Amino acid sequence: MAEISRSQHADGNSAALAPRPVASAQGIRNVISVDVEDYFHAESFADVVQRSDWEGCSSRVEANTRRLLDLFAQLKVHATFFVLGWVGERHPELLRQIAAGGHELACHSYWHRLIYQLSPAEFREDTRKAKEVIEQAAGQGVCGYRAPTYSIVSNSLWALEVLADLGFTYDSSIFPIHHDRYGIPDAPRFPFRFSTPSGSIVEYPITTFRMGGHNLPVAGGGYLRLLPWSYTRIGMRRAQREGLPVIAYVHPWEIDPDQPRLPGRLISRLRHYTNLGKVHGRLTKMLRGETFTSFRESGLAQIVQEVDFHG
């Protein structure tokens, strides 16, 4: 597991890895990001929808992403859109529209495969192809990456070297929590620089807050959707009090209560279909209550810390 510090406090927070005080983070904004994929790309249904089935599914990603673009335009918010290469190849006009709205295009892989199930060579080829597709469609360079299902974990940190080598300057895939499919619970919780033999890359971990000696996730995906709004509000406030930016994320299918229902395990259906009708309202409330923008415009680069973290 990660060896991050020699001096751990009793609650698991290390002094060396504690975020800087809020004062130094003043003027730093929060980030809203969208993982642009369709409802049938979700890992929850990977056991019932094969990649060869994707072409035959009725796509809703374009309409749902346009609803998010409308909301962001209405609220004058810029966002970072991590686009699945498979989607980008089929909807180039949507990518051009995202770019024209002043948003940042970034990469969410091509095939939405878990990185820790790939070889470095397979990961490199998937990422290279996705980056090329998105850049060609959008007409803008891509320098940010988010792994499918946050699958950069302790034994797939090698992916960061591949990303640096392919020209990515930042990644936002590490979730410093315990979870059945992802997470590096003892990774730094604040923006940090990760050194690799191919150069360094900045990591923007997904937001967590501390409670009862644990890192708890907040402000994204299922956590925004399944848990009460009060949890999100309190968690965001606690993270910000520590000087952490909120890095929020949402999927286009999460604002679509009318999407076709897929068969699957009960737990998958509960995770995917609960509260789909609430996300648009909660997202609006979240974006109205705080200043959110894209990674590109966030200024977060100013608070990136140098740490000795090797997983």
**List of residues contacting Zn ion (CB under 5 A):** 35, 37, 148
- Alpha carbon dihedral 24, 214, 211, 175, in 10-degree steps, equals 50
Q: Give min distance, CB of 94 to Zn ion, in A.
A: 16
- Closer to Zn ion by Cβ: residue 113 or 243: 113
- Closer to Zn ion by Cβ: residue 45 or 309: 45
Q: Give min distance, CB of 81 to Zn ion, in A.
A: 12
User: Which one, of 33, 116, 129, lies nearest residue 87 by Cα?
Assistant: 129
Q: Give min distance, CB of 58 to Zn ion, in A.
A: 19
List 208's β-bridge partners, or say none: 217
What's the length of the chain?
A: 311
**Residue 224 tokens, joined:** 């925004």
- Closer to Zn ion by Cβ: residue 109 or 240: 109
Q: Give min distance, CB of 148 to Zn ion, in A.
A: 5
User: Which one, of 197, 157, 153, lies nearest residue 176 by Cα?
Assistant: 153
- Closer to Zn ion by Cβ: residue 19 or 221: 221
Sign of CA dihedral 251, 296, 208, 124: positive
Angstrom distance (rounded) from CA 42 to CA 94: 20
User: Nearest 5°: CA angle at 218, between 213 and 219?
Assistant: 165
Q: Give min distance, CB of 36 to Zn ion, in A.
A: 9
Looking at beta carbons, which residue is closest to Zn ion?
Answer: 35
- Closer to Zn ion by Cβ: residue 35 or 126: 35
Angstrom distance (rounded) from CA 95 to CA 74: 19
